[in-house]
Amino acid sequence: RRRAAVAPALAASGRATLFRGYAAAATPRPTPFLGTGMVPKVAVGAAATLTSVALYELISRSVGTVSGGATAAGASAGDGASAGAGAVWDVAWDDPGALPADSEEALELRRAGDPQVERRHIIFVRHAQPASGQAAEGEGAGKKAKKKEFLALSPEGRKQAELTGQRLKMLFDDVDAVYYSAAPESKATAQILHRCLSGGDPKSATRLVESGLFAEAVPGLPSPAPEALKEVPAAELEADAARAEAAFRALVWSPKLTSKEQVGLTSVEVVVGHGNLIRYLACRALQLPPSAWSRMAASHCTLTWIDIGCDGSVAMREFGSSGHLPPDLVTYY
The DSSP string of 201-264 is -TT-SSEEEE-GGGS----S--SSPPHHHHTS-HHHHHHHHHHHHHHHHHH-------SGGGTT
Query: 188, 152 in Cβ contact below 8 A?
Result: yes
Predicted TM-score (pTM) of the model is 0.73
Percent of the residues in the chain that have a pLDDT greater than 70, as a whole number: 68
Task: Say yes or no to pLDDT of 173 above 60.
Answer: yes
Question: 333 pLDDT exceeds 80?
Answer: yes
Q: What is the pLDDT of residue 314?
A: 97
Q: Is the pLDDT of residue 247 over 80?
A: yes
Residue 318 — pLDDT band, cuts 50, 70, 90?
very high
Asked which of 44-48, 69-73, 80-84, 242-246 is least confident by mean pLDDT, the reply is 69-73
Of 267, 271, 273, 332, give the one whose Cα is nearest residue 297: 332
Contact 249, 268 (CB under 8 A): no
What was the pLDDT predicted at 121?
98
Flag whether pLDDT at 226 surpasses 70.
yes
pLDDT at 289: 95
Tens digit of pLDDT for each residue in 302-311? Answer: 999 999 999 9
